[in-house]
Amino acid sequence: ALRAGSRVDQMSVTLSNGTTLTHGGTGGTASSLTLASGEYVTTAYLCQAQKDGRTRIFYAKFTTSTGRTLAGGTTTSDCVTRTAPSGWQIAGFHGRTGDEVDKVGFIYTQR
Judge contact between 51 and 7, C-beta under 8 A. Answer: yes
Q: Can you give the pTM of this predicted structure?
A: 0.94
| C-alpha distance from residue 98 to each of 14, 45, 51, 65 (Å) | 20, 21, 13, 31
What percent of the chain stands above pLDDT 90? 91
Domain residue ranges of the chain, discontinuous segments joined by + = 2-31+53-110
pLDDT tens figures, 27-50: 999 999 999 999 999 999 999 999
CA separation, residue 87 to residues 81, 96, 105, 108 (Å): 18, 28, 19, 10
Q: How many CA atoms lie within 13 A of 49 on its CB side?
A: 13
pLDDT of 98 reads: 86
